Structure 1
Amino acid sequence: MTDQERNKATVADIYATCWNKNDMKRVDEIFNEDLSHGLLLDGWPSGRDGFKKLVSFWREAFPDIHEDAIDLVADGNTVMSRFRLRGTHNGDFYGIPGTGRKVDIYGAEWFKFDENGKVTDYLYHEDTLGLFFQLGVMPLPHLAIAGVDGTEK
């Protein structure tokens, strides 16, 4: 197995174990302790604790969260993934109380690995706007333009 194949398998494992099974022991095994991440919210912890908090944040809002890697592309010591996230909004999410609505969005992540196969750098992005539409906290633009959402035009 090449390093690139190993790194792609590790990213697939992150979805299967960390996200879908909430296995935080795997986070400690997969991510470097000094993980650099793009989670820049005030008070967000550094290192791999930041990734653990990210998983916890989403799982509290969407307890049945399920993520799948749709595409995995490796180049050198980096892996890019396109993922699909599905779940039911049953808990607080950015101050939005649980709605009971099901969501289905896509996102992308970037992982950089060291020579030992541990993740050293991590960035992610999900379709937050699409998620807010699905939660019903924002009107769909085409409905708002047509006045279907009850607003006056």
Structure 2
Amino acid sequence: MSINSNKEVVARFNREVIAGKNLQSFDALMAPDFVNHSAPPGVSPAADGMIAFLQNVLWKAFSDIRIDILDQVGEGEKISTRKNVSGVHVGEFFGIPATNKRINIEMLEIVTVQNGQYLEHWSIWNYLKVMAQVRS
């Protein structure tokens, strides 16, 4: 696949899965041997760990999720994305009850896309900056 096709796979995952909560798209976009290199300790690095985080943390804590892809750079099968994920804090998030505030999470991620599917994933985000928004 071309770099632009791989960028579109990442954009589709963000649009359909993270923001759209589409489980069929999740299944279609995950390679059978997917590895999330950024999975927290105790969480499966396979696709089941990623969907568990989305269902049990992100989607319960935030409504009206929006994703703005700010930059994407590709080289071969690897796509780097700088994005802003925002949502209204409507449920408990890491022990903090709902505040009904719109929270912004700035993220950097690298995804290996192979045959139109996520094969590997790395991400970083500023946990303290997000928690400061939730607590303020």
Structure 2 portions without partners, runs of 5+: none
The structure where strand makes up a greater share of residues is: 2
C-alpha distance in structure 2 between counterparts of 1:55 and 1:109, whole Å: 16
C-alpha distance in structure 2 between counterparts of 1:45 and 1:24, whole Å: 18
Q: Deviations over 1:2-26 (max 9, x none)?
A: 5211100011101110011100111
**Offset at residue 99 of structure 1 (A):** 1.6
Aligned counterpart, 1:144? none
C-alpha distance in structure 2 between counterparts of 1:11 and 1:85, whole Å: 14
How many residues in Structure 1 have an aligned counterpart in Structure 2? 134
TM-score (normalised: structure 2): 0.90
Aligned counterpart, 2:39? 39
Larger radius of gyration: 1
Aligned counterpart, 2:95? 95
RMSD over aligned Cα, in angstroms?
A: 1.5
Residues 3 and 117, structure 1, Cα contact 8 Å, conserved in 2: no
Residues 110 and 122, structure 1, Cα contact 8 Å, conserved in 2: yes
C-alpha distance in structure 2 between counterparts of 1:124 and 1:49, whole Å: 17
Q: Deviations over 1:13-59 (max 9, x none)?
A: 011100111001111111112211120332x2342112212222211
TM-score (normalised: structure 1): 0.81
Runs of 4+ in 1 over 2 A off after TM superposition: none
**Offset at residue 135 of structure 1 (A):** 1.0
C-alpha distance in structure 2 between counterparts of 1:19 and 1:53, whole Å: 12
Aligned counterpart, 1:108? 108
The percentage of counterpart residues that share the same residue type is 23
Aligned counterpart, 2:8? 9
Structure 1 portions without partners, runs of 5+: 138-153
